[in-house]
Amino acid sequence: MTVNIALAQINPAVGDIQANQNLIINTACTARDALQADVVVFPELTVTGYPPEDLLFRRDFIQLAEQAVQIIAESTQGIDVVLGVPEQQGDQLFNSAAVLRDGKILSMYRKQALPNYGVFDEHRYFADGDALTLFEVKGHQLALTICEDIWQPGLIEQYKQAGAELIMTLNASPFHAGKIHQREQVVCEQVSLAGVPLVYVNQVGGQDELIFDGASFAVNAKGEVVYRAAEFEASLQTVGFTGGDIHADAIAPVYEEVASEYKALVLGIQDYVRKNGFGGAILGLSGGIDSALVLALAVDALGADNVEAVLMPSRYTQDMSNEDAVLETEALGINYHIVPIEPAVNAFAEMLSPIFADSKKDTTEENIQARSRGVLLMALSNKQGKLLLTTGNKSEMSVGYATLYGDMAGGFAPIKDVPKLLVYKLAEYRNSVSPVIPSRVITRPPSAELAPDQVDEDSLPPYSVLDRILEMYIEQDMDALAITAQGYTQADVARAISLVDRNEYKRRQSPPGVRISSRAFGRDRRYPIASGYRGTHLLTLKQ
Amino acid sequence: MTVNIALAQINPAVGDIQANQNLIINTACTARDALQADVVVFPELTVTGYPPEDLLFRRDFIQLAEQAVQIIAESTQGIDVVLGVPEQQGDQLFNSAAVLRDGKILSMYRKQALPNYGVFDEHRYFADGDALTLFEVKGHQLALTICEDIWQPGLIEQYKQAGAELIMTLNASPFHAGKIHQREQVVCEQVSLAGVPLVYVNQVGGQDELIFDGASFAVNAKGEVVYRAAEFEASLQTVGFTGGDIHADAIAPVYEEVASEYKALVLGIQDYVRKNGFGGAILGLSGGIDSALVLALAVDALGADNVEAVLMPSRYTQDMSNEDAVLETEALGINYHIVPIEPAVNAFAEMLSPIFADSKKDTTEENIQARSRGVLLMALSNKQGKLLLTTGNKSEMSVGYATLYGDMAGGFAPIKDVPKLLVYKLAEYRNSVSPVIPSRVITRPPSAELAPDQVDEDSLPPYSVLDRILEMYIEQDMDALAITAQGYTQADVARAISLVDRNEYKRRQSPPGVRISSRAFGRDRRYPIASGYRGTHLLTLKQ
């Protein structure tokens, strides 16, 4: 007899147990009534959202989650509901999956493999489970696993020995570029070894710096993907388990890499604004490529009516910058303000002149320009309840080419994990959908416009060199010698990585942004600020 | 025969392996030559400093540490050197202790209990060790343990069974108020059960938000502390092991709680400025108690010549604020500037007037004042290479009573873990040493002076109530009902904890500060920003 299994790829709200409870009940009832599902499977820690972080230390939070499970069980009779919930047992907390049937908890499974690397800290919260959990539906034995469990060999084979006919896995697996292929490959390999089909349900949505891309899937006993849900959106569909295998034919296409990154950034902005209750977003629009991209992303995420741009020219701003900025606001149909910054910059210069009388101009004066803009943008943000988006990219964040409390002021930094060359690719991708970013913004040389005729490449290696060095140093932990061995000059490598080493203090005060790489600045990369490590030490030794 | 054991309570620099190597060699040679020590024991992960965080993922860093151990071994012949070092073995990394003798590594011990709670993330980096390590000195069996190992029962007893006559433990145990008593109590209990004496060596110094207080000690077989090194300073002294027990008589006194907190804050500022290479510190001095305390701390940490204050009065600043600020600079003998903020505030008001014409005044205008001060302070910091200290306390950080990029602008926040009432106690403690803070600063009601006749208690519960509620909610994870059961009104509890819930985004962009409580904002408390959890939910249910 066919078992109809619904994959409930939902977007929960971390911490908002009441809202998640309602979403789970509605989704389960739809699966039962509209899709005739026998079982509905939700993502990892469904009830709390993932990752709940230190909320897990609050007893009242855990109790609220336990109560929600009871209410869900009572409200979803007639379908088996498989969901994730923290489970307190004495002094220990487990990352568990519950099977709800007939108004009761039928069985519980405790996650065995707790990830404690990258963005994950699960040993901080949870104790390891050590038992298999099978439950019977229409005479078939279904097995439970949670996320990391199936990235390690062994468990699926153990379940097979125990008589499992199908594996269900509840996940909160965050996106980075290429992750979907990695995820499916790992799972398909495990499945094809054991020959037991598998249903994989992932969370979708943005949560602070993490994006969950969904892309839930099902793998048949041969290790072939026979079902895939859409990426970056909520989804509820069924697969059929019959004749000892999974059958389905709805395979959503996988986005190309740049398109998937664009979608991830849009979802990140959307959910950060929505989940934090902001009434839209504002940003400073300079006429440069970074703010041009962020504006397009914001409008795609929030709609033109909910986004506002502010042009804040100085004496160093070229006319074409203002012109291009205005052109983009017109193409996108958004409201904008122009506020020249000279009055504030002059006021500060005069106020400081008695103290600075004997000193030369340096980056201090450039920073005053950037910070005057920061004050203006924050005033507009405060007055209107709109989230201020910063526009710095990953290349800038890496080398500290940004002003704290200036262009770094803001609540969310959408492209802080996007290297400069990828900023261009994303801009071109967006224009391929419909042209909104003026072409001159893409073709002119990048400049901070904080001094006369300034361009980025005066003080930095070309971005084609810089971005590659940064990726090897930051994402791959390669050392300076290994990087130079890839064909980069000692001077460029030394310049780039010494700037990375010295600018941790700036990154630590930057707002969160969307993680799209395998190592973003944030919970993914935990470096000391006071640090005597110099990545250049191998170069120095060689000279 | 007596074994002379030197306890090397050093202040290493995280990441600076070259500097640590030299410090270790010099210290070991002094122990050998001046103190006639047979063995010198250093703190946990001596060679890298603690905590090295994600530097541990860099192969070149691990190799540099391994090379340093070889160099140290060759340079310290004639004494056994026990030090901490990360040990790579294939894919696994261990938190290890090495015994160096005659130019070689005699033996290695691998930490067994890896803390992954509070401020610790050791499962992120290390694999568990599982073997005992004993080594012989003058016919005696000495045993090695590392930090967390001895906070859990069992290991000392195992060592006793294996013939250990003395336990050595290498530590990086961070300070919080009362920690020294907790630490000695735990260790003395373990020791008295097993009846094997123990030598405990702790690191000293500030590392980002952590303070290591030193206070190394030795416990005899009866479980009595027979030796204690000074708190908050480097130390090198010996104890004698003879007749099966430890003998010593140098017991440094333990500071009283408020004095220890003051010393911790001073050391925190000192090491953050020194280890980051700043040429001193500056801060905004308002005439209020918070900045008055931070100024006194900074001068005690860095000396009067290296600290500068800036008075930035507005139309809302009372004369007594300016007078008291100047009085303190004179008492401390430091340089100060006066820069009234009206010109910048007026410039911003005028620039924004076309946009704000139809809107009422609100906190936006207060924030512009605070941010104008932020721009001025950062300009002075940038121009002079001095670290800008922020002056916000823990009560303010908790409820978000601070302006992002305004009074929160700065590189280090010395008192961000000091609740308001403790700010007063610390000020009184400092004045008891020598009077530097004008008494009116201590006695007048606290005010942000951002609006006419504003005082903090207009919008917040009295600090005597607020601080207690915050401690229960933040440090003890108590829920709202449990807090009201302690005698606080639902209104006060709801007001305080809903502000805590809503202001995570501000705290996330605040600079690091000195951790002195059992739970500071920072690596100690990891909350989502986008969070639907409301600590008030139990109160609402009850109404």
**Nearest-CB residue to B383 (from A57, A364, A375):** A364
Mean pLDDT of B389-407: 97
* Chain B residues 107-166 within an 8 A CB cutoff of chain A: 116-117, 121, 123-124
> pLDDT for A29-69, tens place per residue?
999 999 999 999 999 999 999 999 999 999 999 999 999 99
Nearest to A206 by CA among A233, A179, A230, A227: A233
- Kindly state whether B409 is in contact with chain A, defined as any CB-CB distance less than 8 angstroms: yes
Smallest Cβ–Cβ distance between A60 and the set B17, B512, B538 belongs to: B538
Residues of A in contact with B123 (CB under 8 A): 116, 123
- Do A371 and B378 count as a contact with CB atoms less than 8 A apart? yes
* Residue B1 confidence (pLDDT): 83
A440 to chain B, any CB pair closer than 8 A? The answer is no
User: pLDDT at residue A542 above 80?
Assistant: no
DSSP state of A416: T
The pLDDT, as a whole number, for residue A457 is 80
Q: Please state, as a whole number, how many other Cβ atoms lie within 10 Å of the Cβ of residue B120.
A: 18
So what's the pLDDT on residue B247? 94
| Residue A369 sits at the chain B interface (C-beta within 8 Å) | no
Locate A14 and state its tokens: 């971390």
Please pick, among B111, B179, B386, B394, the residue that the annotation labels catalytic. B111
DSSP state at residue B232: S
Query: How close A135 comes to chain B (CA, Å)?
Result: 33
Mean of the per-residue pLDDT values of chain A: 96
pLDDT digits (tens, 9 = 90+) for B130-144: 999 999 999 999 999
State percent of chain A over pLDDT 70: 99
pLDDT at residue A541, as a whole number: 54
Condensed to tens digits (0 to 9), the pLDDT of residues B4-29 reads 999 999 999 999 999 999 999 999 99
Q: Specify the 3-state DSSP secondary structure of A288.
A: coil
- Which of A115, A31, A47 lies closest to A80, judged by CA? A31
| Residue numbers in A near B380 (CB within 8 A) | 352, 355
- In Å, how far is A138's CA from the nearest CA of chain B? 38
The model's pLDDT over A295-326, given as tens digits with 9 standing for 90+, comes to 999 999 999 999 999 999 999 999 999 999 99
Whether pLDDT at A349 is above 50? yes
Instruction: Give the DSSP H or E segment for B33.
Output: helix B17-33
| Residue to substitute from B23, B58, B351, interface A, most A β-carbons within 10 A | B351
At B459 the three-state DSSP class reads coil
Residue B540 has pLDDT above 80, yes or no: no
Pairing of strands A198-202, A217-219: antiparallel
Task: Please give the Cα distance from B503 to B134 (Å, whole number).
Answer: 51
Which of A212, A272, A348 to substitute to test the interface with B, most B CBs within 10 Å? A348
Band (B543; pLDDT cuts 50, 70, 90):
very low
| pLDDT given for residue B456 in this prediction | 81
Percent helix, strand and coil across chain B, each to the nearest 5: 40, 20, 40
| Contact yes or no for B130/B112 (Cβ under 8 A) | yes
Does residue B542 have an active-site annotation?
no
A360 touches chain B (CB under 8 A): no
Q: Is B511 on the interface with A (CB under 8 A)?
A: yes
Strands B307-311 and A92-101: what pairing?
unpaired
d(CA B289, CA B28): 45
Using CA atoms, how far apart are residues B57 and B23, in angstroms rounded to an integer? 24
What top-level class would CATH report for the domain A259-542?
alpha beta
- pLDDT at B541 (0 to 100): 54
Partners of residue A530 in chain B, C-beta under 8 Å = 13-14, 206-208, 271-272, 275-276
Tell me how close the Cα of A15 comes to any Cα of chain B, in angstroms: 4
Chain A residue with minimum CA distance to B377:
A352
Answer yes or no: do B367 and A382 touch at CB < 8 A: yes
Residue to substitute from A526, A538, A540, A542, interface B, most B β-carbons within 10 A: A526
DSSP-derived secondary structure for B153-215: TTHHHHHHHTT-SEEEEEE--B--TTHHHHHHHHHHHHHHHHT--EEEEE-EEEETTEEEEB-
Same fold? B3-254, B259-542: no
User: CB contact, 8 Å: A356 with chain B?
Assistant: yes
Residues of B whose CB is below 8 A from A532: 13-19, 49, 275
CA distance to partner chain B, nearest, from residue A72 (Å): 19
Average pLDDT of chain B?
96
pLDDT at residue A450 in the model = 83
Indicate the domain borders of chain A. 3-254, 259-542
The CA distance from A285 to A282, in Å, is 9
Instruction: Return all residues near A186 (Cβ < 8 A) that are at least 6 apart.
Output: A150, A151
Collapse the DSSP code of A408 into the 3-class scheme (helix H, G, I; strand E, B; otherwise coil) and give the result. coil
> Which is it for the CA torsion A476, A480, A481, A484, positive or negative?
positive
Known active-site residue A188: no
Q: What is the pLDDT, as a whole number, of residue A361?
A: 92
Q: For residue B401, which of B503, B489, B469, B498 has the smallest C-alpha distance?
A: B503
Nearest-CB residue to A405 (from B206, B374, B508): B374
- Is A44 assigned a catalytic role? yes
pLDDT score for A387: 98
CB-CB under 8 Å, A351 with B347 = no
pLDDT at A543 over 70: no
What pLDDT does residue B451 have? 83
**Alpha carbon separation from A469 to A176, A490, A491 (Å, rounded):** 20, 11, 12
Quick check: A531 and B351 CB within 8 A? no
The model's pLDDT over A229-288, given as tens digits with 9 standing for 90+, comes to: 999 999 999 999 999 999 998 899 999 999 999 999 999 999 999 999 999 999 999 999
Q: Note the pLDDT tens digit of each residue in B56-87.
A: 999 999 999 999 999 999 999 999 999 999 99
With CA atoms as reference, report the closest residue to B251 among B262, B267, B266, B235: B235
**B512/A531 CB distance under 8 A:** no
CA distance A9 to chain B (A): 20
Least Cα separation, residue A165 to chain B (angstroms): 34
Question: Which of B15, B58, B124 is opposite residue A532, by nearest beta carbon?
Answer: B15
Which chain A residues contact residue B538 at CB under 8 A? 60
The amino acid occupying position A521 is F
Chain B: closest CA distance from residue A480 (Å): 9
Residue of B nearest to A506 (CA): B411
Read off the pLDDT of residues A482-515 as tens digits, 9 standing for 90 and up.
Answer: 999 999 999 999 999 999 999 999 999 999 999 9
- In terms of Cα–Cα distance, which of B276, B262, B526 is closest to B412? B276
**Residue B344 to chain A, least CA–CA distance (Å):** 5
Check A87, A111, A394, A506 and give the catalytic one: A111
Establish if A513 touches chain B: CB-CB under 8 angstroms. Answer: no
CA–CA separation, A492 and A113 (whole Å): 42
> Quick one: CA dihedral A241, A243, A245, A249, positive or negative?
negative
B510, B503 Cβ separation under 8 angstroms: no
**Candidate CATH numbers 2.40.50.140, 1.10.3210.10, 3.60.110.10, 3.40.50.10490; the one for domain B3-254:** 3.60.110.10
Q: Among B116, B123, B382, select the one facing A367 at the smallest CB separation.
A: B382
pLDDT of residue B446: 87
B542: pLDDT strictly greater than 80: no
Q: Are strands B204-207 and B198-202 parallel, antiparallel or unpaired?
A: unpaired
Q: Smallest Cβ distance to B533: which of A15, A337, A530?
A: A15
CA distance A140 to B474: 48
pLDDT at A74 exceeding the cut of 70: yes
Q: Above pLDDT 90, what percent of chain B?
A: 95
